[in-house]
Amino acid sequence: MFDFTDRDLKEEHDIRIIGAPFDGTVSFRPGARFGPAAIRDASDGVETYSPYLDADLETVHYADAGDLELPMGNTEAVLAIIRETVDECLNDDVIPFLLGGEHLVTLPAVEAVFEKYPELVVVQLDAHADQRDDYLGIELSHACVMRRVSELVGDENIRQLGIRSGTQREYELMKGFGTLTTFRDDDLDEMVAWIGDRPVYLTIDLDVFDPACFPGTGTPEPGGIDWWTFNRFIKAMMECDIVALDAVELAPQLDTSGCSSVLAAKAVREMLLAVSPIA
């Protein structure tokens, strides 16, 4: 079994877990602010060993910085705090790993990482395109996060997998810039080749999973992936230079069984193993 809270910043580490419990711009059902705590709680019942990756967290040097204290009523202040915290990780030469929280927490993290790695590419797993120019007049919304990221790093430097919901305009953008790809083996191989030796920011909105196995999210969408598809993706990404990552949009109170939190914790385990220099 493993428990994030057993790993503190006093230990030497390569990866730093940071909780970003914010859901101030969610468009449907709130509750993602409770995601980081639920992932930590569920992690205590998950083995350290991944049979699919044949790797063990006992070999990974990671630490848990705990949850950030975020002013829920001030989105811009929240983003500034996250940006500063990710900057600290990069200055300490450790990989930042955000636990959301809603998907907007990705934006300040990408901003910080892009400043250090100007050739950054972003790989997004998600049910939703998140490519809106604004949502109800608000540009800083979780429904717009990838549009803001695209404006920063360039649409040509993004790949999106699992998307199955969006406006007509969003699909026109994604098709026009060729950001959409799939989990087919050939497409994964092509994506890894496209990434090459460039640094990667990996953002995983957990609603990419089908609600049949992951109902605990604010905006569930039918037709998502299963656990084994996720594992194939992670195994392919082990060839890449992942310099920062996040897992977002678990709303644990929406799944009273607790299964969504367990799946999220196992996904985080696989991600830690994939990004670790030891893996």
Residues 6+ apart with CB under 8 A from 108: 79, 80, 82, 83, 86
Q: How far apart are CA 120 and CA 137, in angstroms?
A: 29
Q: How far is CA 253 from CA 184, 188, 213, in A?
A: 33, 33, 15
DSSP state for residue 253 in the 8-state scheme: G
Can you say which residues are annotated as belonging to the binding site? 103, 126, 128, 130, 205, 207
As annotated, the binding site for Mn(2+) includes 103, 126, 128, 130, 205, 207
Q: What six digits make up the tokens of 23?
A: 């859901």
3-class SS at 128? strand
Give the DSSP H or E segment for 96: strand 95-100
From first CA to last CA, the distance across the chain in angstroms is 18
